[in-house]
Each structure stands twice: as structure tokens, then as C-alpha cells.
Amino acid sequence: MIDQHPMKRSRTKSPSLDEARLRQQAIGVRLRQMFDEVVNEPVPDEFLQILRRHDEDRPGEG
């Protein structure tokens, strides 16, 4: 069985707040990492091809 110490909890209120803040920071770092990972991937050729093709489809428009 796991011992429960409810009194311990009230005593450690501010350290747990710090802990929460640290965890938040860790999540923030990971989130940016996740985003930047994709930013740093090479762009698939498809993107530029589509843009080019789309342009050629309507050369004399206007």
C-alpha cells in the first residue's frame, strides 16, 4: 500500500508551484521544438511545382 501524507502536501505548496512552472517550461520548449522540427525540414518539391504550374496555367490572364 502507498502511504498517504496529506500534511506533507500543505507544507510543500510553493515547491509544487515551482515544479508546475518548470513543467510548463518543459512543455513550452518541446512545443517549440516540435514546430521548429517541421520548419527545418526541406520543403517538398511539390510545393514549388504547384506554384509554378499554377502560374503557367494562366499566362495571358487579365
Partner 1 sequence: MGSAGRPEEDPIRDEAFRRELVALIPHLRAFARTLSGDPTAADDLAQDAMMKAWDARASFEMGTNMKAWTFMILRNQFYSEKRRSWRQTQLDQEAAERTLVAVDNPEAPVALDELRLGLAMLPIEQREALILVGAGGFAYEEAAEICGCAVGTVKSRVSRARRALQGILESGSYDRDGSSAGEAMNAILASAERLSQVR
Residue ranges that bind partner 1, judged by CB under 8 A: 20, 23-24, 26-28, 30-41, 43-44, 46-48, 50-51, 54, 61-62
d(CA 54, CA 32): 33
Q: How far is the CB of 11 from partner 1 (least distance, A)?
A: 21
Grid coordinates of 29:
520548449
C-beta closer to partner 1: residue 3 or 41: 41
> How many Cα atoms sit within 13 Å of 25 on the Cβ side?
6
C-beta closer to partner 1: residue 12 or 31: 31
